[in-house]
Structure 1
């Protein structure tokens, strides 16, 4: 049975405005935005009476039964979403950092207050990955979820490998086009992909993981030497997030650059697009592809969640609630490429075995097996060293 949604909207940027316009022209369900909370007064496309400047004007309004949160600040988003749930309001959020860092509390608040928190827009933009993992891949046949989850870093790498641009030139283009912020570290250091991976892991394997416990390394240290090495091997480098099922109901996960061969689905994911490969026992590999960022892709995911709320939809968290979830293991060994200039930097890496190495006048590299647990021991140092690391992908079949 449908319910009427009276919406309080937080944020009226590009996505918020687009959402408002879409709702005005969509007769398929009964929903309207009655109040919009913004930070500052300025000339806007709507009349002043639509806007308020204090969060409590929406949160304390009993006539508003749904909150849509579309702001950038994760701390402010946390307080808004928490209070809305406590007030018995349904919530749609796009803030992947807030969700990933506070997921245990978000799960408890939904349960205690018998309300729904939906967040399809928090991961992969227009790709309906969360609800598919929740509803379609809700059995024990799922083996792995691997993907390019950040459009900004993928745009930069596409310009490097397809247009022979330098990292700095490609980064500047991404910033000029609005794909990357003036401080791009959230994207290029892998944190955006990490927070999305945390959310996907919950819906894939029913496991809630602290982002601080996950190996995460981005592309900011990539050099011409690394790019040339990839080209000589006929690879591209992609920033890849992965969660994989291991033996005995364990999983591993990480965010790392990866050398990708032409026969892999994600090889052809270019520019600001995202691509996700879902691998299972019975169906082998399935691939989902689409724009991962931007006003319309994100807005479409927000609208999808609002539509679902109108039909009383809520995540069941089936893997967590009915199967108990999987255990997070850090003992998987991965084959890692480490490019270095100073041999002292290499001493931080406790390889189990070496499969390839090269020593040159300016740059050297070593490839070998190393456990994720060993890399996590030096996780805080990785960005300080004059190195670049990437998973080779040679031992992976997805």
Structure 2
């Protein structure tokens, strides 16, 4: 899209984020009335002129006057079809669909090159936090060591209610759903899938590696119990759902999404409610901390708006880490220290600890803390998901 062309937007989806984007754009003089068509699935009163709304994707994708597609729908399969066709038709695209992007990263990068267009997706990673742009522009060097953070606002809201307000997990989950932070089926958030897809995206912009989400361990908070909460409190910890990608020796990286026992001296300890927090660590600059809202229509809409305005300046991701500092490989055999709470001791036949740091046994709840390889946890993850246990990382790992 040439810089002299005025942005004319075809918007897919008018849910919480779509409405939030419409609201923030209406307050932006440079983009007032930039949204010319909105594609939705059904007719209903939305408080806007009916002539804005259309019901078939091609009504937007085939419109030659629309030069920018903004995709804000939930269904990853439908989003993929829309984004692919838009790129093939030479339209720039802004998307917030982290699952679609993480699962199709290689093809989407190639489509941008083939059609000389730009796909931006800042809102897919951490809501209002501009972490992708920073990784692309400010940290565009070979000094990065790790990216660690709370990447999901819904699960963080629930855990904040549990630890800061002594709420029951189920009660806190219900409130998160009532407030629109969690879906009716909350598994995407609380079981770590949302954080996983975001971590896959951040890994590409951090180390230039495209990794299949199916090959990365994610384990969530849905099995947390009063015993786990009491243990964490007594030790001075909070439990947070954390995603991490870390650089190891010999250009290896490792990544995972797990609940974590977080001590007060860590930046993410104080990240509460629906906020996200990301710690970027490097060789020369030590640690940088980014903080902002990770859920809600207006915060996410503001990130989408940032991508739209970037397109006005012909911005596109250069994927610098892959182009100039590539060659990293995904190492699955790194061993991390975990807290395992269990009731049935038979689970110990399944989980192979390399080294035990601490153990406690009782007639009701027991736990072990020790080092386990990520590859082993990956090999038994289906059994982990179906067992009456809870896992959390301690933040320690064996050196590699």
TM-score (norm 2): 0.96
Comparing 361-370 and 185-194, the one that deviates more: 361-370
Tell me which residue corresponds to 1:262. Answer: 264
CA contact (8 A) 2:334 2:398 kept: no
Tell me which residue corresponds to 2:101. Answer: 99
- 2:338 aligned with 1:370: no
CA contact (8 A) 2:200 2:211 kept: yes
Tell me which residue corresponds to 2:53. Answer: 51
Tell me which residue corresponds to 2:360. Answer: 358
Match of 1:289, SS? strand
**Inter-partner Cα distance in structure 2 for 1:21 and 1:266:** 30
* Structure 1 position 66, deviation (Å): 0.7
Tell me which residue corresponds to 1:380. Answer: 382
- 2:151 aligned with 1:149: yes
**Inter-partner Cα distance in structure 2 for 1:239 and 1:232:** 19
Match of 2:336, SS? strand
Tell me which residue corresponds to 2:78. Answer: 76
Match of 1:82, SS? helix
Tell me which residue corresponds to 1:131. Answer: 133
* Structure 1 position 62, deviation (Å): 1.4
State how 1:1-398 maps to structure 2 within 5 Å.
1=3, 3-28=5-30, 32-395=34-397
**Inter-partner Cα distance in structure 1 for 2:320 and 2:68:** 24
* Structure 1 position 374, deviation (Å): 0.9
CA deviation vs aligned residue, 1:222-271 (integer Å, no higher than 9, x gap): 11111111111111110000000000111000000000000000000011
CA deviation vs aligned residue, 1:120-173 (integer Å, no higher than 9, x gap): 011111100010011101101100000000111111111111111111111111
* Structure 1 position 348, deviation (Å): 1.0
Match of 1:42, SS? coil
Quote the RMSD (CA, aligned, Å): 1.5
CA deviation vs aligned residue, 1:323-377 (integer Å, no higher than 9, x gap): 2241111011101111111111121111111111111111111111111111111
Match of 1:380, SS? helix
* Structure 1 position 108, deviation (Å): 1.1
Query: Closer, same or farther in 2 for the Cα pair 1:110/1:30, shift >3 Å?
Result: farther
Which runs of 5 or more structure 1 residues have no equivalent in the other structure? Answer: none
Which runs of 5 or more structure 2 residues have no equivalent in the other structure? Answer: none
CA contact (8 A) 1:319 1:325 kept: no
* Structure 1 position 24, deviation (Å): 3.4
* Structure 1 position 379, deviation (Å): 1.3
Q: How many residues are matched? A: 397
TM-score (norm 1): 0.97
CA contact (8 A) 2:334 2:397 kept: no
Match of 1:382, SS? helix
Comparing 235-244 and 167-176, the one that deviates more: 167-176
* Structure 1 position 15, deviation (Å): 2.4
* Structure 1 position 31, deviation (Å): 7.0
* Structure 1 position 17, deviation (Å): 2.6
**Inter-partner Cα distance in structure 2 for 1:396 and 1:368:** 11
CA deviation vs aligned residue, 1:263-289 (integer Å, no higher than 9, x gap): 000000011110000000011111000
CA contact (8 A) 1:120 1:130 kept: yes
CA deviation vs aligned residue, 1:283-326 (integer Å, no higher than 9, x gap): 11110001001011001000000000011000000011222241
**Inter-partner Cα distance in structure 2 for 1:33 and 1:272:** 28
